[in-house]
């Protein structure tokens, strides 16, 4: 059972999402009408009763979802946050990542995709809607502290400790593919993909999909 919290000040959208997720027996769902209410309530519960994954709206009155996420991550770093919103502008995406969000989904996504993101977050994935993933990768490229000088055409070699399959998966990660999409493209199970991703993290000394993608981008491992 995964404990889920929904934070959204729109009553209709909040209740609609809550009802959709309650149809999944492996999820225990609760909801909050504001970021302030969420922050107040999670300080009253025992560690065992804290939500494991929070679906956080961004554009809320009083305290927006990004600031709520930041404050909650400071006190409860073990809680994972997925931003669930209609906003896909670059600045909002960047601020959400900086605040500690583990994923970023558009509200138009079907419940099955949201549940996939929730479960993926529990295994260390950073799930984003495809359009958001592309924007996030562009932001990472723009933020690269050590860009390769103009005129340099040869990328740095890939680490020797990565297997052929891990290299294939890392390349797909850098273009924003989810574990489910990678499993379909490579004709292997999602569990196998997630195992390879964990091995990639260990070998590259990173903790998230986006850190691995940024490393690959910085070193131009998959430049064409």
pLDDT value of position 153: 46
Is residue 88 a part of any domain in this protein? Answer: yes
Range of the domain at 193: 151-218
Domain shared by 176 and 104, yes or no: no
Domain shared by 99 and 203, yes or no: no
Its pTM stands at 0.64
Q: Which of 82, 104, 139 is the last residue of a domain?
A: 139
Does the pLDDT at position 211 exceed 80? no
Is residue 129 a part of any domain in this protein? Answer: yes
Domain shared by 213 and 131, yes or no: no
Is residue 75 a part of any domain in this protein? Answer: yes
Nearest alpha carbon to residue 122 among 75, 167, 62, 81: 81
Is residue 223 a part of any domain in this protein? Answer: no
Instruction: Please write the tens of the pLDDT for every residue from 38-96.
Output: 999 999 999 899 999 999 999 898 899 999 999 998 889 889 999 987 766 777 877 88
Q: Which of 139, 168, 200 is the last residue of a domain?
A: 139
Instruction: Please write the tens of the pLDDT for every residue from 103-159.
Output: 888 888 889 889 988 988 877 777 777 667 666 666 666 665 555 444 444 456 788
Q: What single DSSP character describes residue 49?
A: G
- Tally of structural domains, the chain: 2
Q: Which residues contact 8 (CB under 8 A, 6 or more apart)?
A: 14, 17, 31, 32, 33, 55, 57, 60, 84
As a whole number of angstroms, the distance between CA 103 and CA 82 comes to 4
Q: Which of 139, 173, 191 is the last residue of a domain?
A: 139
Question: What is the CATH number for 213?
Answer: 1.10.10.10
């Amino acid at each position: 059972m995964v404990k889920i919290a929904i934070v959204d000040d729109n009553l209709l959208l909040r209740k609609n999402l809550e009802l959709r997720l309650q149809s999944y027996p492996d999820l225990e769902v609760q909801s909050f009408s504001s970021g302030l209410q969420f922050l107040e309530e999670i300080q009253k519960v025992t560690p065992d009763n804290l939500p494991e994954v929070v679906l956080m709206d961004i554009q809320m009155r009083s305290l927006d979802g990004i600031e709520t996420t930041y404050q909650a991550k400071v006190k409860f770093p073990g809680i994972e946050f997925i931003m669930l919103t209609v906003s896909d502008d670059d600045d909002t995406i960047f601020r959400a990542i900086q605040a500690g969000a583990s994923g970023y989904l558009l509200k138009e996504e079907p419940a099955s995709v949201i549940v996939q993101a929730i479960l993926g977050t529990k295994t260390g994935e950073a799930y984003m809607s495809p359009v958001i993933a592309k924007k996030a990768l562009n932001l990472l490229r723009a933020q690269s502290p050590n860009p390769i000088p103009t005129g340099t055409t040869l990328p740095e070699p890939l680490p020797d400790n990565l297997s052929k399959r891990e290299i294939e998966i890392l390349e797909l990660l850098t273009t924003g593919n989810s574990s489910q999409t990678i499993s379909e493209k490579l004709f292997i199970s999602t569990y196998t993909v997630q195992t390879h991703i964990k091995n990639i993290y260990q070998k590259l000394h990173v903790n998230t999909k986006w850190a691995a993608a940024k490393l690959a981008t910085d070193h131009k491992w998959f430049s064409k």
